[in-house]
Structure 1
Amino acid sequence: MKKDKIIYWIATGILTGVMLWSAYNFAFNPEMKGAFAHLGLPNWFRIELTIAKLLGSLALLIPFVPAKLKEFAYFGFGITLISAAVAHLSSGDSILIEIGHLTFFASLVVSYLYYHKLHPKLV
């Protein structure tokens, strides 16, 4: 059980760390407006993603958040990572960018599976 908790918290830490870092950059890095324009995305979507990543990270990190809310956070992060990969590939960016997306998606899957392993009766 202790090993499972360690794996869960490492995977969840990687996932939420990346999402929080991304939200920080979206909010405070002026170059992000250009990056979103490069991907063909409107500026309001940058703001929406910033808020969603903050709320989703909090949902996964705070232990007493209801399981249903955690499920929404996992699902939202999954859609975000898949959509980011599609957006980058569609705009002609290097396929090497997808190594990061795949790594973070793997962290999401591990976190999700171990969450359910540690809380089998929830959801």
Structure 2
Amino acid sequence: MKKNRIIYWITTSLAMLMGGVSGFLYLLIPQMEEAFKLLGFPDYFRIELGIAKIIGLFVILLPQVPARFKEWAYTGFGIVFISAIIAHTVVQGFATAIAPIIVLILLSVSYTYYHKLQAVKAQS
């Protein structure tokens, strides 16, 4: 149980640090507008995605948030990272997709261990 909790918090923290914090960067760093244009996205998408990532960050990290909301946040982040892998690969080449691939792997491990911890909690 302790090992599961450690794996969960390490992978979740890293995934949210790399993925969730980027939501703040989308809104605060002017160069992000140009990066989104390079990928072919309109500027409103950068703002929308930034806000969604910030909300998802808090939904996943805060323990008092109901499990159903966490499920949706994990799903949303999964879609975002899969889309980022595709967009970066098509526009800039596979090498630029390595970061979202790593975050997607971390997110997947986090999700797996989230459910392991929930199963133990349900048995208690």
Same fold (TM over 0.5): yes
Q: 1:35 matched to which residue of 2?
A: 35
Shift of 1:21: 2.7
The structure with the largest helix share of the pair is 2
Give the secondary-structure state (helix, strand or coil) at the position aligned to 1:40. coil
Number of matched pairs? 120
Conserved 8 A contact 1:12-1:108: yes
Q: CA RMSD in A?
A: 1.0
Shift of 1:85: 1.1
Shift of 1:28: 1.1
Identity %: 45
Q: 1:87 matched to which residue of 2?
A: 87
Structure 2 counterpart of 1:77, one-letter code: F
Residues 48-105 of structure 1: CA deviation (Å, up to 9, x unaligned) = 11111011010111001000000000000000001011111221x1311222111111
Q: 2:22 matched to which residue of 1?
A: 22
- The reply on whether 1:74 has 2:74 as its aligned counterpart is yes
Q: Any runs of at least 4 consecutive aligned residues in structure 1 with deviations exceeding 2 A, and if so which? A: none
Conserved 8 A contact 2:59-2:65: yes
Structure 1 unaligned spans of 5+: none
Distance 1:82 1:20 in 2: 15
Please show how residues 1-123 of structure 1 align to structure 2 within 5 Å.
1-91=1-91, 93-120=92-119, 121=122
Compute the TM-score of the two structures, normalised by the length of structure 2.
0.92
Shift of 1:20: 3.1
Structure 2 unaligned spans of 5+: none
Distance 1:111 1:16 in 2: 10
